[in-house]
Amino acid sequence: MINLSSNARQILKARYLRNTDVTETPTDLFERVARHIASVENENKDLWFDRFYKVMRNLEFLPNSPTLMNAGLPNGQLSACFVLPVEDNLNAIFTTLKNAALIHHNGGGTGYNFSKIRPKDDFISSSEGSSAGPVSFMKIYDTATEYVKQAGKRRGANMGILNINHSDIEEFISSKSDFKSLQNFNISVGITNDFMYALENDIDWQLVNPRTNKVSKTLSAKKLWDSIIEQALKTGDPGLIFLDTINQNNPLNKLGEIQSTNPCGEVPLFNYESCNLGSINLKKMVVQNSTNIEIDWKKLERTITTAIRILDNVISCNYFVLSQIQEITLANRKIGLGVMGWAELLIMLEIPYASNKAVELAETVMKFIHEKSYNASQLLAKKRGCFPSWKQSSFAPHMLLRNATCNSIAPTGSISIIADTSYAIEPLYALAYKRTGILENTTQMEINATFVDKMKSLGLWSEQLRSEIIEKGSIQHVKNIPTHLKNLFKTSLEISWKYHLLHQRAFQRYTDNAVSKTINLPNTTTFEEVSEIYKTAWKYKLKGITIYRNGSRNNQILQLCGYN
């Protein structure tokens, strides 16, 4: 029997285990996935099957949900992330909508940059009418997403980007302010360095009609920035995507510019490109010595090497719904190995998230993962050949690689529940919370198990503490808890945004794709603070930034006890 939490069993049963021609158990599921991924090995298939199966069943590494759901099934699409082009004509707009529907139906999420679309009320020569504009087309995409449930298991997710100099950028910025529109979209403003310089120097900024290339409006950069901040404070949207930072770090910049990311921002991709992700459960990468718990670097290295091989194999045994997707994905062979359970690892090592020691360790761990991922990809290149577009990449001629990118920090929204650990690199959201929506129509109270274990081991656990945690969601106000434990168990909203950003920067430094992170903020956060967060994100050379102010939407997945 695999050691799974009750949440993991529920989510697997509701969404992952096959229940038509066969009735799968979790063991069957991991066997199905491992067998399919090992099928592309030329030699020693059984040995590879065994290795792949073990890292998954031990919850040391999990591939992204579509791989767990679809591996081994006919036409099983295994990737989570796609970017599709949006050109300025009806045929192209609706072709992309159809393609997005096919991708969503098979479990993937799609990102698009709508900046090529002419603005609202612009001229259309063929009909002598006026155009709908990018935001209207996004609403059509949104409605379609609503009705194409992903294989009945999850709704499609979308990223919609509009560049900061598009004529309709003001409408775009407030397009989610009614809390009803574009519910299936994350929206981000495509920011350029030029805009940030205009903002720093408090000068005017020009909006341009992409059809005519003529200036449609001039306004102060600060005014535009303030409208972004106001909306982000109110609703959490829009986030920002830093286009120049993305392209300065694009190893395939000879092939063109990247204009979009996937829905949660962790993978910048060319049009039609896809990427498959997987995450190492850091909580499992420890060893108990006689006196303390340490990171097991050998085990971590072994797990990275296996994980990179799994992700590279996934590309080879993947099913692609479009020939364009197949072509560019096979040419660049991008994969994204990331982490989950970072906060729980820190707790096990007794290092508070909000400390310089934690930020330093974040760099050390991600640097290690990055180096070992590249080593593994290099070894694969020697055996299987470099990714076909390698000669045009910045790695040529000296550094052989099998994959144009190796690392992404995905949100791990579902797989961290299966692995029973904290999301990606996020701090614990709360010590007690009601989780709604993730598991079929349930609302349940949960207390973080790592916290309970720690308290029990110190003889501090009691019924009274349990009630206080449920009431407050935190231990900061509980008497008789030593300060070092209060620091260790600070939750997301009790940690200054400065540390949230420092962690994101530390991981981004050694992540060739991007880092998905939400800067969770208390309800009392001010306009000035959000403005500083967004500016700091750019200065830190992050590829994107997303914030969420607690309580600003009424459909939060996790509700904090004591905060509402």
Please tell me the distance from the alpha carbon of residue 373 to that of residue 308, in angstroms, as a whole number: 6
56 in contact with ligand UDP (CB under 6 A): no
Contacts of 221 (CB under 8 A, 6+ apart): 195, 198, 199, 202, 203, 204, 205
Provide the 3-class DSSP secondary structure of residue 398: coil
412 in contact with ligand UDP (CB under 6 A): yes
Query: Which of 99, 165, 250, 266 is flagged as catalytic?
Result: 266
- Please identify the residue of the shown chain whose CB is closest to the bound ligand UDP: 109
Please tell me the distance from the alpha carbon of residue 371 to that of residue 213, in angstroms, as a whole number: 44
411 in contact with ligand UDP (CB under 6 A): yes
Q: Scanning residues 440 to 499, which ones bind ligand UDP (CB under 6 A)?
A: none
386 is catalytic: no
Which of 56, 65, 205, 508 touches ligand UDP by CB under 6 A?
Answer: 65
251 in contact with ligand UDP (CB under 6 A): no
Sign of CA dihedral 162, 84, 268, 63: positive
Q: Counting beta carbons within 10 angstroms of the beta carbon of residue 541, is it exposed (0 to 12), middle (13 to 18) or buried (19 or more)?
A: middle
Q: Quick one: the chain helix, strand, coil %, rounded to 5?
A: 45, 20, 40
Q: Scanning residues 175 to 204, which ones bind ligand UDP (CB under 6 A)?
A: none
Question: Could you tell me which of 490, 463, 460 has the C-alpha nearest to residue 475?
Answer: 490
Contacts of 544 (CB under 8 A, 6+ apart): 188, 239, 240, 241, 242, 261, 265, 514, 537
Question: What minimum distance in Å lies between the beta carbon of 294 and ligand UDP?
Answer: 27
Instruction: Kindly indicate which of the ranges 213-221, 262-270, 299-307, 380-388 contains the residues binding ligand UDP, using the contact rule CB under 6 A.
Output: 262-270
Query: Which of 70, 262, 276, 313 is flagged as catalytic?
Result: 262
463 is catalytic: no
Which of 64, 99, 250, 377 touches ligand UDP by CB under 6 A?
Answer: 64
269 in contact with ligand UDP (CB under 6 A): no
Which of 29, 37, 80, 561 touches ligand UDP by CB under 6 A?
Answer: 80
Query: Which of 264, 275, 386, 561 is flagged as catalytic?
Result: 264
313 is catalytic: no
DSSP string, 229-286: HHHHHHHS--EEEEHHHHHHT-TTGGG----EE-TTSS-EE-TT-EEEEEEEEGGGSE
Phi, psi of 123 (to 5 degrees): -80, 140
DSSP string, 224-238: HHHHHHHHHHHHS--
Instruction: Kindly indicate which of the ranges 134-142, 154-162, 537-545, 549-557 contains the residues binding ligand UDP, using the contact rule CB under 6 A.
Output: 154-162
Q: How many residues bind ligand UDP (CB under 6 A)?
A: 20
Question: What minimum distance in Å lies between the beta carbon of 262 and ligand UDP?
Answer: 4
Q: Scanning residues 81 to 120, which ones bind ligand UDP (CB under 6 A)?
A: 81, 108-109
Which residues are designated catalytic?
A: 262, 264, 266
Query: Which residues bind to ligand UDP, rule: CB under 6 A?
Result: 64-65, 80-81, 108-109, 154, 156-157, 262-264, 266, 277, 410-415
